[in-house]
Structure 1
């Protein structure tokens, strides 16, 4: 189901600096799939980049659709800046505060990229300078061309620019980096950081875990319809030992200490070993010339442990 685009004809006084999304006990099932969302409660504040991570088909886009009111939960509620989707007037008022990454079928092939940006600027009556935005995102060589001539990467950059052009306090980005090369991933990432620093709440669905590792302030893992992990990326986290998977040495450890073995690398939970055992094991690694690192879990590690262990 595509995101709803609301045509805003009048805009009340610009929103206050504090914007928050609140989800309380949200549940949603489909006829062929029960508990796609299962008792989801969240408080999301302004000036955050929030990553939403899960395997494909497990509720990420559904959650964004609930936030946008394209899907109504069976139970619970959504609040945007203290407002609920209770009437058409409230829906319009809320959608002045929020913009979602357009779907491919929401682009008009016969229009230029520039016309799409102007459309979004006018819909939300924002003050964004389109020419400046085009230059920042390096879109000048094709922004005047019809969108039906665009490559996937060009479309993705345009869709991101459309969200930025709205200048809403809350921005929902569903796989905004899909189809982009590393240079453009870095370009979009830099702009997302600037949006956050300017006070925006940016919620982004992404499978680029290394990118989220450096970009997000908070990462949510959605599993079986629930928030399985809520990671504050600025908090100090425990260290783990990552080593080449040497079976002869791993066999000496308690089974609970070996969290994961993946692509020839083993992940060891140091909390399962006392200080003396840790020192002894590291010395044995060094004596056998086995490479190792001691560091916190990466998002890729967290993903495997959450969804594939």
Structure 2
């Protein structure tokens, strides 16, 4: 009888020791995972611009939401910067993967694109040269991206697309749509790529919205349906501020049931009133 009790006691102690060991390992792995997540989040925060430029009659705003309600990280990014000739450069993109490597690769693409755009005016050439530059880095990752150039004098918005999702536009007079611009392969897949450029003139009050697929695609929604939802939303609020539109579009991402990260970039165009205020109408 005593032998049985001793044997049971030893088994209980052994089981308790095993459980303690497994618990310690689990805590260590959770700690390592959390540290990795926090590092990726810090990388992403530092690599996204703190402020976006604006011109008279033109306002920009952007929003970013991490994947899985903050428990994971991705490679979505946006950027807005002034170019040497006084134009505005806008970019949005999505790097393959959800880890520190994806966040770091996102930073490399953003820096490379800024450098190229400062010397090349054509958006298609910007993407082509950026593509070749990141291929020279010998990374196994790739990224979708859209790059736009807005001239505040002519109000021409020219852009090119590298495998990225379409944009959405709406005007205050009730028109709206989803862009059907031609595009090329994502960045980082094949060298020597060319990217068609689409040009449009923003001569009416309205908004042009760029986004990543985390905003419009998920288990509950296809990309096509998601784009249509955003089109309706932007059309209904075309007169809102850039900040309000960015908030509304990002909140719409909740409809998808997605676990991906999401980014939104809004260009709000306001045409100054004519000198009409003169009594003779001149």
Q: Give the TM-score range, shorter chain.
A: under 0.3
TM-score by length of 1: 0.22
Greater fraction strand: 1
